[in-house]
Amino acid sequence: MKTFRDKLCLITGAASGIGRATALALAREGARLCLTDLEEAGLEETGRRAQRVGGHVVACRAFDIGDEAAVNRFAADVHEVGGSVDVVMNIAGISTWGTIETLEARHWRQLVEVNLMGPIHVLRAFVPAMIAAGRGGHVVNVSSAAGLFGLPWHAAYSATKFGLRGISEVLRFDLRHHGIGVSLVCPGAVRTGGSRH
């Protein structure tokens, strides 16, 4: 993809950190944006800033990507208003640190629901329409350095980020013949501004 101008780009985790920075960078390129995050105030601020720098915000809604029904409702609304997206950017995520004796089952479940099932919900809701549209496009999944190698206190987090890495590697094969590229981003520590995702 040589230009983002007029491309419809979905960005999760857009209220802060990498998600906000990405949304604003795409806005400066003239992209049409679909933005989501759990944190409503930060999300609305991102939308306002994106409009000011030249982006067009097609949809902006706060919800938890771990909620499959909410993701599906958002996708249906986006498809009705803007058609299929050109770019899916799975950036939303949360972190919880601890050792095997200190992490509770609820911590593991929450990380799996948001960091792994969340991106899966997004992919299932948006990618089939991209395939059907036949225009190609791109998927970007944000994993982590902790999705490449183990780090102390990162067991639950790494489980989800290794999982997203595996999904991305398979999607490269599965989506290639549809003209849809797949990128995996594995950043180190990032100051996110405190947003959950």
> Residue 146 has what DSSP assignment?
G
CB-based contacts of 95, cutoff 8 Å, min separation 6: 111, 157
Which residues are registered as beta bridge partners of 139? 88, 182
- pLDDT, tens only, 87-118: 999 999 999 999 999 999 999 999 999 999 99
Check if 66 is active-site. Answer: no
- pLDDT, tens only, 82-94: 999 999 999 999 9
In the predicted structure, residue 167 carries a pLDDT above the cut 80? yes
CA angle, residues 12, 16, 20, in degrees to nearest 5 = 65
Question: What is the pLDDT at residue 26?
Answer: 98
Mean pLDDT, range 140-166, rounded to an integer: 95
Mean pLDDT, range 133-149, rounded to an integer: 96
Question: What is the pLDDT at residue 2?
Answer: 82
Catalytic residue among 118, 157, 160, 161: 157
In the predicted structure, residue 184 carries a pLDDT above the cut 60? yes
Q: What's the predicted TM-score (pTM) here? A: 0.94
Distance of CA 43 to the CA centre of its chain: 14
Confidence bin at 197 (pLDDT 50/70/90): very low
Confidence bin at 143 (pLDDT 50/70/90): very high
> Which pair of structure tokens corresponds to residue 115?
């960091």
Question: What is the pLDDT at residue 188?
Answer: 87
In the predicted structure, residue 190 carries a pLDDT above the cut 90? no
